[in-house]
Structure 1
Amino acid sequence: MITGLRQPAHRAAVAGAAVAAVLIWWLPDFALPGDVLAAAAGGGGLLVLNAAAVMLPGVYLSQVLTRREVHRSLQEWVRGLPLPGPAKIALVVAGIAPTVEALTGFGVSLLVTVPVLLALAPPPTALRQAMLGMNIMPWGTLGLATLIGAGLTGTQASALGTATAVSSSLVFPLVTVWAALLARPRRRFRTAAMAAGAGGALSLGLLALNRAGVVQPAGVVAGLLTTTVGLVLCAVRRSRSGTERPGRLLPPRTVVHAYGLVLGGIALTRAATTAGVPRLELHAGNASFALLSSPGLPLLAAALLLDRGRPHAQDARAALARVGRPLLALTGFVALGLLMADSGMIGELGAAVAGAPPLVTALAAPALGMLSGFITGSNVGGNALMMPLQERIAPGGMGLDTWFAALQNSAAGHAVFTSLPMIMLILAVAGDRAKTAGVSEHSLLRFGLKVAAAVYAVLGATAVALVSFA
């Protein structure tokens, strides 16, 4: 429905769930007893609640940041940084874009990165670089996809986050180098080495934070750390040459204030739960929802504090309008995934793949994950659709369940940048600049598929290594 009939994801998701329900009713091979159905409905409801509790406050905060011109301040600061063009592009792709996207999600970072990159390069190059900046997705919207994936597989979020950071570790240097080289720098090797260092810093930051159990704000903090390292190196170089004042490298106070409120709120809720404050949990099926552990509260609190405690009705309505369809699509994909898993459909698919050699399964896993991200246009939707199958097809007896779930999480997230909804959003933000330059949906899709092939090669090599050494 999505790729052939160009139907929106929420319609395809609901239709898929309806077809699954009909097959369960029609075919005796797929049974779903009432008690199992009730548990699945409760668990699915809590998974959707987990998502809604982050999506609504996150989009509301992005509306507040746009209205208060925090995004505009960030754009102007990045444009004015005293850095060479390729270095600035690497900083945007590996530092600033991940920070903004991990905080808000839904492609909001494009509101910052597209205008900045259009000021640095011709539109065909800039829009391709903006696509490459959308690869933080497993930690986008404060790690929502990873949290949902952990809930679907019954895995600790920190364990899935750490495994995802390992499987994605080579992707971030890859896309950062690609983005920097698109600028056609004179010193290609030096530029590639610099960009690889920026992408590597992001990968190391994500790995360290997830291993420490800091999953939700990992993308924000890792992006900030990467940005800080780049600015410190620039400040050292400039101070030695005496050509620039380090003060110009500091971000605007409004940006620091807004991001600090969110991170401070997350730290405060973590400290409260560590001190023994009840997390206000709900449990159903294999899922749970803890109000005090959800990043939704810090997001909402930051938005209200920025507006001095006064809710903004117009921003709230805009947030509800933007979240409605993605949330409906997620609900449909969660329902579809749970119906297929609990009725035995996933088991049948897993059994069909189980007879294949482990190396074949390893190569299939990232392909399935990337397909799910491309089709749904969402890391969360891709995980809801394919995560139960990925866990089931992991070669038995090797302890690879979590690693295959991580491959799904990585692959779905790293394919979202080339999905049609994301490409349309990039073209919408670019506006007339894209039309005048002749940049089309088809040309960006072709470019995205080339990058996706390289990403698949990296993830496939990682999967083969995991199976070989398990």
Structure 2
Amino acid sequence: MLGLITGLRRPAHWAAAAGSALAALLIWWLPQFELPENVLASGAGAGGVLVLNAAAVMLPGVYLSQVLMRREVHRSLQEWVRGLPLAEPAKVALVVVGIAPTVEALTGFGVSLLVTVPVLLALAPPATALRQAMLGMNIMPWGTLGLATAIGASLVGTRPLELGSATAVTSSLIFPLVAVWAALLTRPRQRVRTVVVAAALGGALSLGLLAFNRLGTVEVAGVLAGLTTTALGVLVLASRNGEAVPSGEAAHKGEAGHKSHALLPPRPVLLAYGLVLALIAVLRAATAAGLPPVALHAGGASFQLFSSPGLPLLATALLLDRGRLHGGDARAAAGRVLRPLLALTGFVALGQLMAAGGMIGELGAAVADAPPLLIALAAPALGILSGFITGSNVGGNALLMPLQERLAPGDGSLDVWFAALQNSAAGHAVFTSLPMIMLTLAVAGQQAQRGAESSMLRFGMRVACAVYAALAATATVLVLTAG
């Protein structure tokens, strides 16, 4: 698959299909692998439910993003960000670990680039702005309302609460890292101050994710943490500048706005995001009050309709359009989701084939006797590779999450932690993948320079190395502490 994607530049769904076909051939050909019919049926059922879980969030999420674009909600958010009275490095850091995570956690699929790329292009030269936009794609374990974390938890048989909380710890060093990197790309004069401010914003996002995951709000943890980071950043940084931040409508008119409303983003943004969060809260309360679950179970995986964020996403889109389904937006959403969903189906099929056929067991057994520290260094590398190959946190988890859980040394106390390392590594490697780079360039349009794809890929590899170092350090500490 790696050769098909990087060498032949084949789409991810073609690579996934080829990988699944090769796995099936090897299971049929080699005697050490076997696939009993009952195991095959169970794996197919589990895989189907996992794809259903993803589709139930992907389709409504992309449809909502189409509605928000048509209603110019993203444009109003762009104008609000541009009007913030902050220094350029601080504004860039706020976009990367505040605005971008909030938008991406709500909608997913790189929709945040529609907001961040135009803003960053207004602040920096195209080559710099596109790199900063890439770094803004950092919230992936909580993107699309925590879809990757929910799917990962299903794959290893744990609760999203446990995997989300562990992932918040394993990812904690990444957010300050990307915030500082993005701010330093502006070449500020006061480098020390820039590093401190950017690291503080990244740390605020890390702490917010940890807190909201621990509270059990895994699905909306990325949205809430991003909003909290944005609010804190605007409050603290703008007050240090001695200026009031204009409200959404006042910023559009070039006025200061009333002090009590100075920190509020535009009303359409608050309405859209508030509706999603409120509807999720209502569904949670109804479920806790005894709302009968509508659930589907197969092969150890389950789909629960009222626990899926898909209903609040779709309901928000319908409420914004006064109950009408917009045909053009629905067709556009279906077209945008088709290829990612086909790729995900292929990666899920490959993961289930490798697990049911014995390949994952063989890989786990091959490294069972390796030193724990060597395993700790290998696990983040495998996770990063899976995110790069699939171009998706969900696809990377579907591919390697069962293996990562088995790699965990010891008596099982590290199983969830190694699953979290996979979740973090795959998620933070997605922006280095070719599909995400091409999407960034497409949003930039004519402002993207010739040859930008290769330079962005090289930049992504440098960042991936830094991400690996942070995750490897975290894995080493986990193994040493457990030992």
Give the TM bin, normalised by the shorter chain: over 0.9
Alpha-carbon contact 2:127-2:448 (below 8 Å) kept:
yes
- Per the TM alignment, residue 235 of structure 1 is displaced from its structure 2 partner at its CA by 4.7
Alpha-carbon contact 1:61-1:303 (below 8 Å) kept:
yes
- Per the TM alignment, residue 239 of structure 1 is displaced from its structure 2 partner at its CA by 5.2
**Greater shift after overlay, 18-27 or 31-40?**
18-27
* Rounded Cα–Cα distance in structure 2 between residues aligned with 1:338 and 1:99: 32
Equivalent of 1:263, from 277, 286, 291? 277
- Per the TM alignment, residue 321 of structure 1 is displaced from its structure 2 partner at its CA by 0.6
Question: Compared with structure 1, are the counterparts of its residues 105 and 242 closer, same or farther at alpha carbon in structure 2 (3 Å cutoff)?
Answer: closer
Deviations 1:290-311 (A, max 9, x none): 0000000000000000100000
Partner letter of residue 228 of structure 1? Answer: A
- Per the TM alignment, residue 66 of structure 1 is displaced from its structure 2 partner at its CA by 0.4
1:318 matched residue in structure 2: 332
Partner letter of residue 444 of structure 1? Answer: M
* Rounded Cα–Cα distance in structure 2 between residues aligned with 1:378 and 1:306: 29
2:461 matched residue in structure 1: 449
- Per the TM alignment, residue 411 of structure 1 is displaced from its structure 2 partner at its CA by 0.2
- Per the TM alignment, residue 394 of structure 1 is displaced from its structure 2 partner at its CA by 1.0
1:418 matched residue in structure 2: 432
Equivalent of 2:27, from 24, 34, 45? 24
Alpha-carbon contact 1:123-1:439 (below 8 Å) kept:
no
**2:9 is the counterpart of 1:6:** yes
The alignment partner of 1:370 has SS state of helix
1:304 matched residue in structure 2: 318
Equivalent of 1:60, from 60, 63, 68? 63
The alignment partner of 2:10 has SS state of coil
* Rounded Cα–Cα distance in structure 2 between residues aligned with 1:276 and 1:368: 42
Question: Compared with structure 1, are the counterparts of its residues 343 and 241 closer, same or farther at alpha carbon in structure 2 (3 Å cutoff)?
Answer: closer
1:379 matched residue in structure 2: 393
The alignment partner of 2:7 has SS state of coil
* Rounded Cα–Cα distance in structure 2 between residues aligned with 1:444 and 1:23: 36
Equivalent of 1:33, from 12, 32, 36? 36
Equivalent of 1:328, from 318, 335, 342? 342
**Greater shift after overlay, 243-252 or 361-370?**
243-252
Partner letter of residue 152 of structure 2? Answer: G
* Rounded Cα–Cα distance in structure 1 between residues aligned with 2:131 and 2:345: 31
* Rounded Cα–Cα distance in structure 2 between residues aligned with 1:242 and 1:422: 33
Partner letter of residue 344 of structure 2? Answer: L
Deviations 1:352-406 (A, max 9, x none): 1112111000000000000000111110111111111111111132511110000
- Per the TM alignment, residue 242 of structure 1 is displaced from its structure 2 partner at its CA by 11
Relative to the length of structure 2, the TM-score reads 0.95
Partner letter of residue 323 of structure 1? Answer: V
The alignment partner of 1:303 has SS state of helix
- Per the TM alignment, residue 241 of structure 1 is displaced from its structure 2 partner at its CA by 9.3
The alignment partner of 1:354 has SS state of coil
Alpha-carbon contact 2:23-2:353 (below 8 Å) kept:
yes
* Rounded Cα–Cα distance in structure 1 between residues aligned with 2:291 and 2:193: 51
Alpha-carbon contact 2:85-2:245 (below 8 Å) kept:
no
What are the within-5 Å matches in structure 2 for residues 350-369 of structure 1? Answer: 350-369=364-383
1:278 matched residue in structure 2: 292
**2:92 is the counterpart of 1:89:** yes
**2:349 is the counterpart of 1:346:** no
**2:235 is the counterpart of 1:232:** yes
* Rounded Cα–Cα distance in structure 2 between residues aligned with 1:320 and 1:178: 36
Give the gaps of 5 or more residues in structure 2. Answer: 247-255
2:211 matched residue in structure 1: 208
- Per the TM alignment, residue 234 of structure 1 is displaced from its structure 2 partner at its CA by 3.6
1:44 matched residue in structure 2: 47
1:75 matched residue in structure 2: 78
Relative to the length of structure 1, the TM-score reads 0.97
Give the gaps of 5 or more residues in structure 1. Answer: none
Alpha-carbon contact 2:86-2:241 (below 8 Å) kept:
no
Partner letter of residue 353 of structure 1? Answer: V
Question: Compared with structure 1, are the counterparts of its residues 87 and 41 closer, same or farther at alpha carbon in structure 2 (3 Å cutoff)?
Answer: same
Alpha-carbon contact 1:81-1:248 (below 8 Å) kept:
no
- Per the TM alignment, residue 101 of structure 1 is displaced from its structure 2 partner at its CA by 0.4
Equivalent of 2:419, from 397, 405, 409? 405
